[in-house]
Structures are given as structure tokens and as C-alpha cells.
A and B are shown apart, each in its own frame.
Chain A
Amino acid sequence: MKKITTILIYAFITIVLFVFVFHYIWMVLTSFKTRLDIFTVPPKFIFKPYLQNYIDVFTRGRFLRNFLNSAIVVACATFISVAVGTPAAYSLARFELMGKKHISMWILSIRMMPPIVAVIPFFLIASKLRILDTHGLLMLVYMTFNLPFVIWILRSFFEDVPIELEQAAILDGYSRWSIFTKVALPLVKPGLVSVTILCIIFSWNEFLFANVLTKEVAQTLPPAISVLVTTRTVQWGRVGALATLVVLPIVIFTYFIQRHMVRGLTLGAVKG
């Protein structure tokens, strides 16, 4: 009986895993296929790798430019979101503010708004301000969506830091700011790591805003893929290659940092 249960569980896991991983496998396989192989039915799983797709990505598109744009926008948006969001989260966790509940709810409601709702207003405002297709605009948009997230996650982390730790420091003559940096901040490190990673992933993969608000100068990687899908043809080989290159940094990054992330997401409680 126990054996059957185990088999069923593994069968279930295999199916779920297949569903989740299959399109990645498909993507990577496609990137190494010739145009002919891509459309072969039944699909080939064993074939001679074809590298022209990758060569094309590097030589015929603007891969490096787009990659750099992505890196700049993601790094700045994440850094500013975390740098601004952390003190905000601390304040909401520790101070008695007027209308604290409403402020929190308002911040969360920004996150609740579907991004598509904001696209057109953002586009119109940006075009009036003549800041379309700039890095700054994209950073601003990503911060709009990252900040509430940072604040809400970190607020609960700060709330889990026993208040007595800070009170002990108050008695010793520490200022609010030094308590924040010396006591509270080190204790929410797992939370900081988590929100940083999640902000990076969100901004790196973001397509909608990048597609609408940028064109050439500040275009990031995700919309660059869509350029390959034209009305006349879809260059699946290059789409696969480019998509693989977009996903790769995040996969590597997540692989190395996942230990901190799991700890960060489960270890909300800091026990004195």
C-alpha cells in the first residue's frame, strides 16, 4: 500500500514537473535546431546542434545593447526600490503614524492594480513629458510595482523582530537611525535578500511596459524577442536562442542564491 502511494506521488511529481519544465526544454531545443528541424513532425529530440541561431542573435540583432539596457534598468530599479522601501517598511512596522492602516492599504492597492490598466496613462504622460524610450521611465515604472512589494514583505519581517531588542538599544543611548542600521537591518537580512531577488526577477522578465514604453534607446531584452515575431514570418530559431539567453542569467542567479531565498521566505521569525 505504502509502495503504491509512493509510486503515485512520484508519478504526480513527474507530470507536474513535465508541465512546468517542458516549454523550457522546447525553447532550448528549438534554439539549436535548423529551420527545417523545428517544423519536423514528429519533433526530433536527437539531432546535430545548429549554432547559427546564436551567431545571428549576437551579430544581426542588438543583443548587447538590449542586454545592457535590461541590466541598467533592473539594477537601478531594484536598488532604489529596496533602498527606499526598507526604511518605509520599518516606519510602518514601528511607528504610530496617522492613518497608518490607510497608507498601508493604499500601498498594497497599487500592487493590486493590473499593469495593463496603467500602461496607457503611463504612455500618455510619458509622451507629454517627452521621456518615452528612456531608461529613467522604465525604472520609474518598475519601482511603482516593486516598492509596494518591498514595503509589504519587509514590514512583516521588521514586525517579527522583537521590540525588546530595540528597546534595549534605546536604553543604551542609541539613536533611531543607529538602531535601524545596527539592530533591525541585520536581523531582516533574509527578507532583504528575498525581496531583492524577487524584484530583479520581476523587472528582468517584464514585457508589457518595456514593449509599450521603449523602442530603441532603452529597449530591454523581453520586447527584443517579440521583434522577431513579424507579420510575415516568425524566426523560431532565433526566438529560442534569444529567449534562452534572457532566461539564463536569472536561472544561474537563482540557482546560487536560492538557499538564501528559501530561508528568507520561511524564516520570517527572528527569535531572540
Chain B
Amino acid sequence: MAKVVLKNVYKSYGEVKAIRGVNLSCEEGQLLALLGPSGAGKTTTLKLIAGLEKCDGGEIFLNDRNVNEVSPFERNVAMTFENYALYPHFTVFENLAFPLRSPRRRHIYSEKDVRKKVEEIATLLGIHQLLDRRPTQLSGGQRQRVSLGRMLVTNPDVFLMDEPIAHLDAKLRYFLTGEIKKLQKRLGVTTIYTTHDYMEALAIGDRVAVINTGKVLQVGSPDEIFNRPNTEFIGKLIGDPPMNVLECEIVKKEKNYFLKIGELIHPLSARMAEKLLQEVKDGKSRVGIRPTDMQVSREKIPGYPEMEVYVSEPLGDKEILTLKKGNVSIQAKIKAGLESKVGEHLWVKFDFKRLHFFDRETGNRIHLDVEYLVL
């Protein structure tokens, strides 16, 4: 077990700055999910922790010990790779035994110990019957298990998993997310797990770190990441369909405040509007509305805007609507049953408490601290 800390770590490949000042920490026994689009620097971060790459600047600590100059083997971390990296010329057994037979471990494990250990791990992962096969004869899910097995077999202090289930089909992915989480909790090994899939990250991570262009944008619990995204980028990254983010302005008519999004005029609570006006003097910002955070109704909701159905996509239990008013287009995800028709007019009411505001220039969240208050 170990605590992993990265302090202001930099890494470039030639001209390309892969990691630009990353600060991260993962407590003992915790599962930290690194979430980011491809090319964000996730794999590089893992390779830096593993010692496969050397950082250009900053410090990496394992259990409060600076490991910048420590060899990969001595860091006692194990890593799974996105392409599984199984040795095609070895059988599954040999693949699993390979780490134990290394020159540095050979004196610890006799051939008998190796056999025992490999069989133990194979049984744990349910791949016992595959030991004599070669990787090419395995399905994607089985290969993934073998690669997990090769990570488990050496009893490392830290697991590093690089997109372990990204290339499996959806059903298997769902199943394996649970499996990996269970396994990690059972073994209690500190784990850093990368993914580009927000659902996977939220489902599996004790904590989630969102990373993009080599920088950590936000670290927090899955709940925080989802409900209080730090930037517009994170807001859009998480959720499907993505968050609607639109230019908006606070306007005051008589005593009431309104949120003006193009031609769309939506009432806003006075408390929220005043708070927002304190933060943004001209009242102009960008508003983020999750497609699930709104009410869409055929009956008129007095005072609320009316929008035209542009596209309607039924998804069984849900329905995704693209609604338009003038130049403004938003997506709504609602419970099935409305059976809306294209061209039909519906009334829309946003959930006040769940509106997100972002700065127009920086894209940073404007903290209003009223989101969770009953209005």
C-alpha cells in the first residue's frame, strides 16, 4: 500500500508539452480515476509514476519518498496497458509467470512458487482454464483479465491502469467496471485508473481528477465533479448528451429578473440574479444547463418560454429533444411518454438550482454558492 503524490510535474516530448505542472495525490487504498480526452496526458502521467518516463521537472512521491531517481522496478508499482501488452509468443501461464521469473525476483520465487502464485491469480480472475492458450486465441475480455492478472501477480504497492476496459464492448465494460472496483476494494491497493469515459470515471473512482492538455482541471468526488464542474470544459465533458452551454445575460424588467439567452427569456430567482450580478458586473456570462435539469411540458407553464421541437430521438425509457427558439438550440433529456412531434411547441422550465454559470472569457465556474439552497 502506498500514497502517491505528484508535485508540479512537467514532461515534454521534444516540442510537445505533454504534462504541464500536474499536482495530484492519491491516498492509500484509494482509487483515483484520471478522466480526460485522448491526448490529455493521462498515459504519460501513469508512465511518469511508473518510472517508464522521467519527468523534466517536479517531484513524484511514493509513501513520502521522492522516487524521481528510483528505477521502475524498485518503485514496486504494476501497470496495465491500453493494448494489454501481452507477450504474443508466450502462453497465458508464461505471461503471468513472466514478472515472477524476472532476474530481480527469480531468487524469491522458486518454479513451484511461481506455479502456485499464477494458479491462485488465475483462479481469482476466472481464467484458470485458459492457462495453456496464447493471447491471440483469447477474446478481448479474456486478454484484459490476463493483463490484470499480470499486474496482480507481483503484489505491488500501486496499481496503474491505463484505459483497461476502453476497447471492450459496452456490456462487458459495464460488468468489468464493477469487477475491477470490487477487486480493488478487496485488495485495498492504491490505484490510479485512466479513462476517457466519464461514466466509467464516476462509477469507479473514489475521487476523480479531470485532466486536459497536460493540466489537472479539477479533483474531487464524483458528485462534486458532476454537480460543480470547475470549468465549462468539464461541464461539457461529463454527461450525455453534453451540457448545453450558451451565452446569456441577466436582464431586469420591473422588479423581476430574467435570464436572456438569445431570444429565449427565462425567469430567474432574484437571489441568484443578484449574486451573479455581483460577480459579473455587466450581467453577461455563459450558462450551463444539463439536458436532464429541465422540465418540458405540453401544457403551458405560465411565465416560462415556449420552444419548438426540432429533433426528437426516442431512447426507450428516455427521449432526447432538440428544442429551438430563434437561433437558440438546446437539448433536453426527458422521460419517455411525451411523444412529441417535430414542429410542436413545448414549454420549458429550467431547474434553477442546477444552473451552472461560467465566465465568458476564462470558462471558469462562477461560484454562486446558492445552487444547493432552496429558493
Interface residues, chain A, CB within 8 Å of chain B? Answer: 162, 164-165, 167-175, 178, 183, 186-187, 270-272
A149 to chain B, nearest CB (A): 25
Inside 8 A of A186's CB, which chain B residues have their CB? 89
Find chain B residues with CB under 8 A from A169 CB: 98, 102
Q: What string of 1s and 0s marks CB contacts (under 8 Å) between B87-104 and chain A?
A: 111000000001100111
* Given A173-B102, A178-B103, A187-B89, A168:B83 Cβ within 8 A: no
Query: Chain B: how many interface residues by the 8 Å CB criterion?
Result: 27
- Tell me which of A162, A174, A178 contacts B85 (CB under 8 A): A162
For B73, B77, B84, B102, which residue has the most chain A Cβ atoms within 10 angstroms? B102
Given contacts A169-B98, A172-B98, A172-B154, contact A270 B88 (CB under 8 A): yes
B105 close to A (CB within 8 Å): yes
Residues of A within 8 A of B51 (CB): 171
B335 at the interface (CB under 8 A from A): no
With CB as the reference atom, state the residue of chain A lying closest to B100.
A172
CB nearest to B104 among chain A residues = A173
- Whether B290 sits at the interface, judged by CB under 8 Å, is no
User: How distant is the Cα of A178 from the Cα of B104 in the complex, in angstroms?
Assistant: 12
Identify 14 residue pairs between A and B in the complex whose beta-carbon atoms are under 8 Å apart, listed by A's number: A164-B81, A164-B85, A167-B47, A167-B52, A167-B81, A172-B99, A172-B102, A172-B105, A173-B99, A174-B102, A174-B104, A187-B88, A272-B85, A272-B135
**Which residues of chain B (129-172) have a CB below 8 Å from chain A?**
135, 150, 154
Q: Does B287 contact A (CB under 8 A)?
A: no
Q: CB-CB < 8 A to A164: which residues of B?
A: 81-83, 85
Are B85 and A175 in contact (CB-based, < 8 A)?
A: no
B105 touches A173 (CB 8 A): yes
Given contacts A167-B52, A169-B102, 4 further A-B contacts (CB under 8 A): A165-B85, A168-B81, A172-B154, A186-B89
Q: Is B55 an interface residue (CB 8 A)?
A: no
- A175: chain B residues at CB < 8 Å are 103
Q: How far is the CA of A186 from the CA of B99 in the complex (A)?
A: 17
Interface residues of B in 285-300 (CB under 8 A from A): none
Give Cα A168–Cα B87 distance, bound, in whole angstroms. Answer: 10
B78 at the interface (CB under 8 A from A): yes
Q: Across the interface, name the chain A residue whose C-beta is closest to B162.
A: A164
Q: Which residues of the partner chain A approach B103 to less than 8 Å between Cβ atoms?
A: 173-175, 178
Collect the chain A residues with CB atoms within 8 Å of residue B87's CB.
165, 183
Q: Which residues on B sit within 8 Å (CB–CB) of A271?
A: 88
Are B105 and A168 in contact, with the CB atoms below 8 A?
A: no
| A168–B162 CA distance with the chains assembled, in angstroms | 12
CB-CB < 8 A to B85: which residues of A?
A: 162, 164-165, 167-168, 272
Judge whether B52 and A171 touch: CB under 8 Å. yes
| B189 on interface, CB distance cutoff 8 Å | no
CA distance A167 to B87 in the complex (A): 12
Whether B208 sits at the interface, judged by CB under 8 Å, is no
Q: Contacts of B88 on A, CB cut-off 8 Å?
A: 187, 270-272
From B79, B83, B84, B135, A171 is in contact (CB under 8 Å) with B79
Is B98 within 8 A of A171, CB to CB?
no
> Are B73 and A173 in contact, with the CB atoms below 8 A?
yes
Q: Is the beta-carbon distance between A170 and B72 smaller than 8 angstroms?
A: yes
